[in-house]
């Protein structure tokens, strides 16, 4: 089985990618500004929700329960969706999902499709697979469209073009749409996008969407968005294909009451999304006359089997952890080498895909805990990061790396009072080659990244324990 | 009260002044301080970097040494977070029922310094005198793992002579994160730069915190920039008295 997450296989390590991105002043300013605005709005609307913590606990409990009985809820969803006139397809991995979708499009004989709100299709590399078969996909979510027209990659799971500012969007539009003049006010850009997209909405006969929630009880699907472009995509085409990870299912309609309070507040700092679309199966003479759901595994059952990492699948893709993450705020999303960026990406990507650079992602965090604090479904991201670090050390890292050897030596040092005290003495003696004018300003090897921007005080002559010893002998004042 | 001190490996080696201050402070408040010499490290560095197998014996060792203590004082929130967040699970993984029980019994008796002072000993005014302009950095573990809230600030507000100024972005990580500062040195440096800007904007003489690890990171940057701002552990401020500063 081949599991694919976009173009992640070609991505460099987080450290390498971050090094390059940190020099991009414009990008950092854009990311800082956008995340500041969303974080502030989120804080306001969360503060006014007095049962916020109870809502988080409820959402977390619903997700835990659903995953415990995932097989049953998925079958229930399939039965209900089918009864309402939909067709459910099961895809074990990216290739199978792409094959199913391609088959449906070819069956219809279409050469173009419109897409909205489907990160999962980015996960499986759908656009590439379609283009290779002569089918042209059009992104209709404004931010996704900016990314597509700019031949860029998304950098945020809710605001994929967050790293671009208005002036940059204007340039992309002018180039891609062949416009001679265009202002950079929001209304200028919106009008340009509207003219460009209207034509696609009216002409293209197949729509592909993602799903925020699949409702087992009714077989219904829910998509929330801000622009109304999604509503167009979901209602105008003849055929609608929804791609969703298997973890998107929730037991019943009433569960939406919990999630639809948490999601918009966490994602965009709104009390409610401007557009909340809910549909079930097909309806005569109204909306798409063919409706397909592709249920995607692509590594998710593997995550489900890992008791400590299972909570990763609770994620409702709100992006709050990205906005609050001090690491993400410095680098933006591209450093994570995956469509899933930020703290959630740092735990999801390495579990979905076994590529080289994934080893670096669990370490792309200072474990500050801000992500866990804002997560609307209470994913303890720091805990999962540490768990995955353990996996990297056990399974992937060579036992003979300088780090592994250092760690083994240190654990030996800490194993007895004698060895610890001996190491303290050795450290004091051994540091002198590096001390100049009373300070350590340069260290070799890995430790050099400390002294690149920070000085270090040398170890003091007397450790605390030696002071205590002297004091007990009565040689110290205290 | 009989208070056992877990000084932590890096305070012992790098920041003995903090340990001395904790001892002076607790004795001044009328308590007896014990220092078990066998102590070394709580295992945090190993555990958080992924070397969980290596961390386990250190946890066992810590529990063995402190299991009979009346109360354990730790002048480092990140070490306390290590114990509270992970020790129970680590003990469970050993399958040793005795160890699990010992961890369960010991954890409620392990307190970070400001928790010990305010919550356990019921003191907010420790009688300290520190005539300096000071800003307080809330370390990540103190805030989001131990949920200390304003405990350290309550202690600081009662210090005589202090000019306490609020730090912008007080809840933002300084970028240390243990081995993170080494493994992701560039991102860590970018995070530190933001923190330093905020510290410098307060025009404080001293930046304090309940963790010397963050302070070592912040001071490393301040010193490199010749910013003329010191970092001092909370314990050292609380241990300072008028008699001492006039002598």
Contact B180 A446 (CB under 8 A): no
Is residue B134 classed as helix, strand or coil in its secondary structure?
strand
Task: With a cut of 80, say whether residue B57 has pLDDT above it.
Answer: yes
Q: What distance in Å separates residue A262's CA from the closest CA in chain B?
A: 21
Write down the residue that tokens 């940057």 correspond to.
B221
Q: Which of B49, B86, B181 sits opposite A407 (nearest CB)?
A: B49
* Ranges of each domain in chain B: 2-120, 133-246
A436 vs A452: CA distance, rounded Å: 15
Residues of A in contact with B216 (CB under 8 A): 456-457
Please give the backbone phi and psi of residue B226, each rounded to the nearest 5 degrees, phi first. Answer: 55, 45
Q: What is the pLDDT of residue B168?
A: 96
Contact A450 B182 (CB under 8 A): yes
B127 vs A138: CA distance, rounded Å: 69
Contact A15 B186 (CB under 8 A): yes
- Strands B206-209 vs B230-233: parallel, antiparallel or unpaired: parallel
Digit-coded pLDDT (tens) for B93-141: 999 999 999 999 999 999 999 999 999 999 999 999 999 999 999 999 9
Q: What distance in Å separates residue A27's CA from the closest CA in chain B?
A: 14
Q: What is the pLDDT of residue A355?
A: 61
Contact A449 B16 (CB under 8 A): no
Let me know: does B10 contact B213? Beta carbons within 8 Å: yes
Contact A368 B14 (CB under 8 A): no
Dihedral angle at the C-alpha atoms of B82, B87, B89, B92, nearest 10 degrees?
160
Contact B27 A459 (CB under 8 A): no
Query: Judged by CB atoms within 8 Å, which residues 87-116 of B form the interface with A?
Result: none
Q: What is the pLDDT of residue A2?
A: 39
Q: What distance in Å separates residue A321's CA from the closest CA in chain B?
A: 14
A476 vs A425: CA distance, rounded Å: 20
- Best A326, A332, A397, A421 member to test B by mutation, with max B CBs in 10 Å, is A326
Residue of B76, B82, B65 whose CA lies nearest to B115 = B76
Is residue B160 classed as helix, strand or coil in its secondary structure?
strand
Number of Cβ within a 10 Å radius of residue A216: 26
Residue of A345, A14, A326, A300 whose CA lies nearest to A156 = A345
B111 vs B77: CA distance, rounded Å: 9
Domains B2-120 and B133-246 share a fold: yes
Q: What's the Cα-to-Cα distance from A45 to each of A2, A458, B136, rounded to whole Å? A: 42, 48, 28
Name beta bridge partners: A292: A87, A241
Q: What is the pLDDT of residue A5?
A: 47
Q: Is A252 inside any structural domain?
A: yes
Q: What is the pLDDT of residue B245?
A: 65
Q: Is B12 at the interface with chain A, CB within 8 A?
A: yes
Looking at the structure, tell me whether residues A298 and A435 fall in a common domain: no
Let me know: does A171 contact A185? Beta carbons within 8 Å: no
In A184-230, the DSSP E strands lie at 206-209, 213-215, 220-225
Residue A320: exposure state from Cβ atoms within 10 A (0-12, 13-18, ≥19): buried
What does the angle CA A380 – CA B78 – CA A335 come to, to the nearest 5 degrees? 55
Q: What distance in Å separates residue A44's CA from the closest CA in chain B?
A: 17
Q: What distance in Å separates residue B124's CA from the closest CA in chain A?
A: 23
Kindly state the DSSP code that residue A396 receives in the 8-state scheme: I
Q: Is B48 at the interface with chain A, CB within 8 A?
A: yes
In A226-283, the DSSP E strands lie at 239-245, 249-250, 275-280
Q: Which of A446, A453, A467 sits opposite B192 (nearest CB)?
A: A453
Q: Is B166 at the interface with chain A, CB within 8 A?
A: no
Q: Is B144 at the interface with chain A, CB within 8 A?
A: yes
Q: What is the pLDDT of residue A476?
A: 60
Q: To 10 degrees, what angle do helices B185-201 and A14-21 make?
A: 50
Radius of gyration of chain A (CA): 26
Residues of B in contact with A462 (CB under 8 A): 16
The structure tokens listed for B211 are 């963790």
Domain boundary among A279, A302, A325: A302
Q: What's the Cα-to-Cα distance from A237 to each of A73, A119, A290, A315, rounded to whole Å? A: 29, 20, 9, 29
A176 vs A162: CA distance, rounded Å: 19
Looking at the structure, tell me whether residues A211 and A68 fall in a common domain: yes
Q: What is the pLDDT of residue A464?
A: 98
Radius of gyration of chain B (CA): 18
Q: Which of A366, A455, A460 sits opposite B220 (nearest CB)?
A: A455
Q: Which of A330, A389, A441 sits opposite B50 (nearest CB)?
A: A389
A205 vs A114: CA distance, rounded Å: 8
Q: How many domains does chain A have?
A: 2
B13 vs A476: CA distance, rounded Å: 18
Kindly state the DSSP code that residue A10 receives in the 8-state scheme: G
Q: Is B220 at the interface with chain A, CB within 8 A?
A: yes
The model's confidence at residue B242, banded by pLDDT at 50, 70 and 90, is confident
Q: Is B55 at the interface with chain A, CB within 8 A?
A: yes
Q: Is A385 inside any structural domain?
A: no
Residue A202: exposure state from Cβ atoms within 10 A (0-12, 13-18, ≥19): exposed
B16 vs B7: CA distance, rounded Å: 9
The structure tokens listed for A428 are 């004091």
Residues of A in contact with B193 (CB under 8 A): 453
Q: Is B75 at the interface with chain A, CB within 8 A?
A: no
Let me know: does A117 contact A223? Beta carbons within 8 Å: yes
Residues of B in contact with A446 (CB under 8 A): 182
Contact B9 A420 (CB under 8 A): yes
A191: domain CATH number?
3.40.50.10420
Q: Which of B39, B184, B194 sits opposite A18 (nearest CB)?
A: B184
CATH topology of domain B2-120: Rossmann fold (3.40.50)
Please give the backbone phi and psi of residue A145, each rounded to the nearest 5 degrees, phi first. Answer: -65, -40
Q: For residue B217, what are the contacts with CB-CB under 8 A and spacing of at least 6?
A: A454, B174, B175, B176, B181, B192
Write down the residue that tokens 């500012």 correspond to.
A165
Q: Is A271 inside any structural domain?
A: yes
Let me know: does B114 contact B155? Beta carbons within 8 Å: yes
Number of Cβ within a 10 Å radius of residue A327: 29
* Residue in B closest to A455 by C-alpha: B220
Q: What is the pLDDT of residue A69?
A: 98
Q: Is B169 at the interface with chain A, CB within 8 A?
A: no
Residue A372: exposure state from Cβ atoms within 10 A (0-12, 13-18, ≥19): buried
A170 vs A192: CA distance, rounded Å: 9
Let me know: does B222 contact B229? Beta carbons within 8 Å: yes
Enumerate residue ranges in chain A where pLDDT < 70: 1-10, 354-356, 396-398, 475-478
Residues of B in contact with A325 (CB under 8 A): none
What would you measure as the largest C-alpha separation in chain A, in angstroms? 95
Class of domain B133-246 (CATH, top level): alpha beta
Q: Is B49 at the interface with chain A, CB within 8 A?
A: yes
Is residue B24 classed as helix, strand or coil in its secondary structure?
helix
- Sign, Cα dihedral of A62, A67, A72, A77: positive
Size of interface A-B (CB pairs under 8 A): 188
Q: Is B175 at the interface with chain A, CB within 8 A?
A: yes
Residues of B in contact with A326 (CB under 8 A): 172-173, 175, 191, 194
Number of Cβ within a 10 Å radius of residue A84: 16
End-to-end CA distance of chain B: 29
> What is the domain extent for residue A441?
431-478
Q: What is the pLDDT of residue B80?
A: 98
B216 vs A455: CA distance, rounded Å: 9
Q: How far from chain centre, in Å, is Cα A329?
A: 14
Is residue A317 classed as helix, strand or coil in its secondary structure?
coil
Q: Is B197 at the interface with chain A, CB within 8 A?
A: no
Find the length of chain A: 478
Write down the residue that tokens 């592909």 correspond to.
A208
The structure tokens listed for B1 are 């009260």
Q: What is the pLDDT of residue A400?
A: 79
Let me know: does A220 contact A278? Beta carbons within 8 Å: yes
């Amino acid at each position: 089985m081949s599991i694919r997450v976009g173009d992640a296989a070609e991505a460099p390590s987080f450290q390498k990618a971050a090094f390059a991105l940190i020099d991009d002043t414009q990008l950092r300013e854009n990311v800082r500004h956008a995340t500041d605005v969303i974080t502030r709005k989120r804080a306001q609307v969360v503060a006014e929700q007095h049962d916020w913590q109870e809502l988080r606990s409820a959402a977390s409990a619903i997700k835990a329960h659903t995953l415990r009985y995932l097989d049953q809820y998925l079958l229930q969803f399939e039965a209900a969706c089918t009864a309402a006139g939909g067709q459910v397809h099961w895809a074990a991995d990216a290739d199978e999902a792409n094959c199913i979708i391609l088959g449906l499009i070819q069956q219809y004989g279409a050469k173009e499709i419109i897409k909205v709100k489907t990160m999962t299709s980015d996960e499986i590399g759908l656009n590439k697979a379609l283009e290779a078969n002569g089918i042209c996909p059009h992104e209709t979510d404004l931010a996704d469209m900016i990314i597509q027209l700019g031949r860029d990659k998304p950098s945020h799971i809710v605001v994929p073009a967050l790293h671009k500012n208005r002036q940059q969007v204007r340039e992309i539009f002018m180039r891609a749409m062949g416009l001679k003049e265009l202002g950079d006010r929001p209304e200028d850009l919106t009008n340009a996008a509207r003219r460009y997209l209207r034509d696609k909405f009216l002409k293209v006969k197949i729509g592909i969407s993602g799903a925020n929630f699949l409702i087992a009880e009714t077989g219904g699907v829910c998509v929330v968005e801000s622009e109304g472009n999604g509503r167009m995509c979901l209602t105008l085409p003849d055929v609608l294909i929804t791609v969703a990870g298997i973890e998107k299912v929730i037991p019943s309609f009433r569960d939406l009451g919990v999630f639809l309070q948490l999601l918009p507040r966490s994602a965009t700092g709104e009390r409610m999304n401007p557009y909340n679309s809910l549909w079930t199966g097909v309806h005569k003479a109204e909306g798409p006359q063919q409706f397909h759901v592709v249920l995607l595994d692509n590594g998710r059952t593997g995550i489900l089997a890992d008791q400590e990492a299972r909570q990763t699948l609770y994620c409702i893709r709100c992006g709050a952890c990205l906005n609050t993450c001090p690491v993400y705020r410095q680098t933006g999303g591209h450093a994570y080498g995956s469509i899933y960026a930020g703290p959630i990406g740092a735990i999801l990507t390495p579990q979905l895909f076994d590529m080289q650079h994934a080893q670096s992602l669990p370490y792309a965090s200072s474990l500050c805990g801000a992500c866990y604090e804002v997560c609307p479904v209470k994913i303890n991201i720091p805990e999962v990061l540490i768990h995955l670090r353990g996996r990297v050390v056990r399974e992937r890292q060579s036992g003979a790396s300088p780090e592994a050897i250092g760690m083994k030596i240190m654990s030996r040092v800490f194993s007895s009072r004698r060895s610890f005290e001996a190491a303290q003495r050795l450290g004091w003696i051994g540091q002198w080659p590096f001390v100049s004018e009373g300070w350590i300003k340069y260290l070799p090897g890995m430790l050099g990244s400390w002294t690149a921007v920070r000085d270090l005080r040398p170890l003091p002559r007397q450790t605390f324990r030696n002071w205590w010893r002297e004091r007990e002998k009565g040689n110290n004042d205290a | 009260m009989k208070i056992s001190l877990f000084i932590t490996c890096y305070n012992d080696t790098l920041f003995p002044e903090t340990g001395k201050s904790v001892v002076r402070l607790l004795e001044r408040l009328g308590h007896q301080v014990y220092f078990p010499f066998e102590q070394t490290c709580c295992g945090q560095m190993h555990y958080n970097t992924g070397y969980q197998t290596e961390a386990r014996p250190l946890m066992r060792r810590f529990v063995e040494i402190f299991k009979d203590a009346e109360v354990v004082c730790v002048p480092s929130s990140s070490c306390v977070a290590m114990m509270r967040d992970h020790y129970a699970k680590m003990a469970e993984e050993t399958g040793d029922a005795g160890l699990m029980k010992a961890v369960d019994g010991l954890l409620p008796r392990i307190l970070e310094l400001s928790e010990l002072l305010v919550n356990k000993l019921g003191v907010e005014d420790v009688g300290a005198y520190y005539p300096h302009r000071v800003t307080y950095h809330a370390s990540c573990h103190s805030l989001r793992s131990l949920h200390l809230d304003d405990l350290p600030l309550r202690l600081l507000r009662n210090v005589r002579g202090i000019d306490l100024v609020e730090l912008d972005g007080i809840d933002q990580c300084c970028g240390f994160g243990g081995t993170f500062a080494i493994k992701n040195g560039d991102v860590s440096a970018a995070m530190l730069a933001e923190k330093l800007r905020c510290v410098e904007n307060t025009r404080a003489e001293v930046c304090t915190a309940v963790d010397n690890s963050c302070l070592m990171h912040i001071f490393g940057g301040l010193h490199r920039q010749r910013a003329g701002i010191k970092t001092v552990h909370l314990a050292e401020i609380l241990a300072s008295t008028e008699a001492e500063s006039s002598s």
